Amino acid sequence: MFVDSHCHLDRLDLTPYGGDLDAALEAARDRGVRRFLAISTSLEGAPNLAGIARRHDDVDISVGLHPLHEVAQEPDSEAIQACADRYGAVAIGETGLDFHYDSVPRETQRQRFVAHLRASRELELPVVIHTREARDETLALIREHVDPKVGGVLHCFTEDLEMAREALRLGFYISLSGIVTFASAEALRGVARQVPLDRLLIETDSPFLAPVPHRGHPNEPRWVVEVAECIAHERGITVDEVAMQTRANFYRLFPGCAPEGKADNPFV
């Protein structure tokens, strides 16, 4: 059984399914995908994601504000915590730093990231981090603010093995997306071979970054299987081994996603 540890279910292209999210999720289940973590990019989107989770026992949600999402007023840590509590989030994020673009000033991104990290620490919820061209600052803020016993994940990882190893040392997991299947991603496949299997997650980041052989199409949760197949090939192990271990890793990092945890959650 596979887990899509990072997907944007509120942003999928549902045209192939007649606009029906249920059908898209069922297509993923038909391929063995049995859990979905729907990732928030804005606090305003949390109610919609919570509604999806209420309708589907195998969907959980995060709460956060993407580093490049523009808002009129920046949320403080307390606002993020309140949103997470209200909607039964199992994680904080996605958050982080993205210095490739300048739509949100870097200092604003830093302050926003710290607010999320403080919320993560206060609620003892793992943090989902987006980082691009901000390696040193991302790691520095993790060291300063994250409880290693709670930790988090560097999602859609595209950095080098050195950064991966430092993140692992800080209690983080590394999540690989469809990028690992791209012809240009040989260095990332090297990371896939080297990171301990018990610290890896797999994701689609759908509707973005569709893996080979689906490039050029909007991504879907069902294609997390292709990510697992690539990792299995690179490591010389079976796809079942990748599926089982990444699923175990997912529940270890996100204990609120365990079926018993969701059953006890009055918000979902």
Rounded distance between C-alpha atoms, residue 23 and residue 46, angstroms: 22
Minimal CA–CA distance to 199: which of 140, 147, 144, 157? 157
Phi, psi angle pair for 125, to nearest 5° = -115, 140
Q: So what's the pLDDT on residue 251?
A: 97
Rounded distance between C-alpha atoms, residue 241 and residue 108, angstroms: 42
Q: Which two tokens stand for residue 39?
A: 């990732």
Rounded distance between C-alpha atoms, residue 36 and residue 58, angstroms: 6
Tell me the angle at which helices 224-235 and 239-253 cross, rounded to the nearest 10 degrees. 110
Rounded distance between C-alpha atoms, residue 177 and residue 73, angstroms: 31
Strands 33-38 and 200-202: unpaired
Q: Any residues with CB less than 8 A from the CB of 240 and at least 6 apart, and which? A: none
204, 177 in Cβ contact below 8 A?
Answer: yes
253, 173 in Cβ contact below 8 A?
Answer: yes
pLDDT tens, per residue, the chain with 268 residues:
999 999 999 999 999 999 999 999 999 999 999 999 999 999 999 999 999 999 999 999 999 999 999 999 999 999 999 999 999 999 999 999 999 998 999 999 999 999 999 999 999 999 999 999 999 999 999 999 999 999 999 999 999 999 999 999 999 999 999 999 999 999 999 999 999 999 999 999 999 999 999 999 999 999 999 999 999 999 999 999 999 999 999 999 999 998 765 544 444 4
Q: So what's the pLDDT on residue 267?
A: 40
Rounded distance between C-alpha atoms, residue 204 and residue 156, angstroms: 8
Q: So what's the pLDDT on residue 148?
A: 93
